[in-house]
């Protein structure tokens, strides 16, 4: 079976944009509205001849009227249970939020490899301090990316497949 890579993170950090960037198809739904992706989406990805399944976990518990609608911790837990490697996406423009800390707390308990993708880095120099802030989450493997323009995606995937 192919390894499973889960894309985890709070709403609006760019999970679906990253998913689309990696699989090269516009399969996931990207929207400004948090929780826009209603279903978990799987697709095959490949990097340097290594294949894997990528899971866009965004909004997988999202349902209007559901008390668990915004329970990002539950979303993260389910994704973490079933995957081999975790890409934890965070947003360099907003910095660390309470939801990021909640997700980090869950991921810390796991023995699975975690790569932090610090997204929305379009100006590497200007955003260096914004990037460094995320080291305080306690996961040493971090890559700065722009899912929107493709910057850093190769470096990110290098770190991901190093765990297969
Ligand atoms: P998700 O909720 O985590 O799946 O986030 P989306 O992929 O739907 O993206 C949320 C918003 O962030 C959208 O408006 C995207 O266009 C924007 N976005 C995603 N990636 C980037 C990026 O690399 N840079 C910038 N500036 N915006 C981004
Ligand atoms: Mg999404």
How confident is the prediction along the chain (164 residues), in pLDDT tens digits per residue? 899 999 988 889 999 899 989 988 555 555 555 554 444 477 889 999 999 999 887 644 434 444 444 566 666 677 778 899 999 999 999 999 988 998 898 888 888 999 999 999 999 999 999 999 999 999 999 999 999 999 999 999 999 999 99
Residue numbers belonging to the annotated binding site: 9-16, 56-60, 119-122
CA 63 to chain centre: 20
Ligand 1 atom index nearest CA of 13: 3
Q: Could you tell me if the CB of 57 is within 6 A of ligand 1?
A: no
Please tell me the predicted confidence (pLDDT) of residue 15.
92
- Ordered by where they begin, the domains of the chain are 4-161 (3.40.50.300)
pLDDT at site 29: 53
Cβ–ligand 1 distance for 64 under 6 Å, the answer: no
Is ligand 1 within 6 A of the CB of residue 51? no
CA distance 48 to 68: 38
Binding residues for GTP: 9-16, 56-60, 119-122
What was the ipTM of the complex prediction?
0.99
Q: Which of 6, 11, 12, 14 for a ligand 1 pocket mutation test, highest count of atoms within 8 Å of Cβ?
A: 14
Look at ligand 1, atom 22, and give the residue with the nearest C-alpha.
Answer: 120
Maximum separation of any 2 CA atoms in the chain, in Å: 43
Look at the block and give the residue holding tokens 């990002």.
Answer: 72
**134: CB partners within 8 A, 6+ apart:** 90, 92, 96, 116, 118, 142
């Amino acid at each position: 079976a192919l390894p499973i890579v889960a894309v985890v993170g709070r709403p609006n950090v760019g999970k679906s944009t990253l998913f689309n960037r990696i699989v090269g198809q516009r399969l996931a739904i990207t929207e400004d509205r948090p929780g826009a992706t209603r279903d978990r989406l799987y697709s095959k990805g490949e990097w340097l001849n290594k294949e894997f399944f990528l899971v866009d976990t965004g909004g997988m518990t999202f349902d209007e009227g559901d008390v668990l609608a915004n329970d990002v911790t539950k979303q993260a837990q389910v994704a973490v249970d079933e995957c081999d490697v975790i890409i934890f996406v965070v947003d360099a423009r907003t910095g660390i939020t309470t939801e990021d800390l909640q997700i980090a707390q869950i991921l810390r308990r796991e023995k699975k490899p975690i790569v932090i993708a610090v997204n929305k880095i379009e100006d590497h120099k200007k955003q260096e301090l914004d990037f460094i802030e995320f080291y305080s989450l306690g996961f040493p493997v971090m890559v700065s990316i722009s899912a929107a323009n493709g910057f850093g995606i190769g470096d990110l995937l290098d770190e991901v497949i190093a765990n297969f």
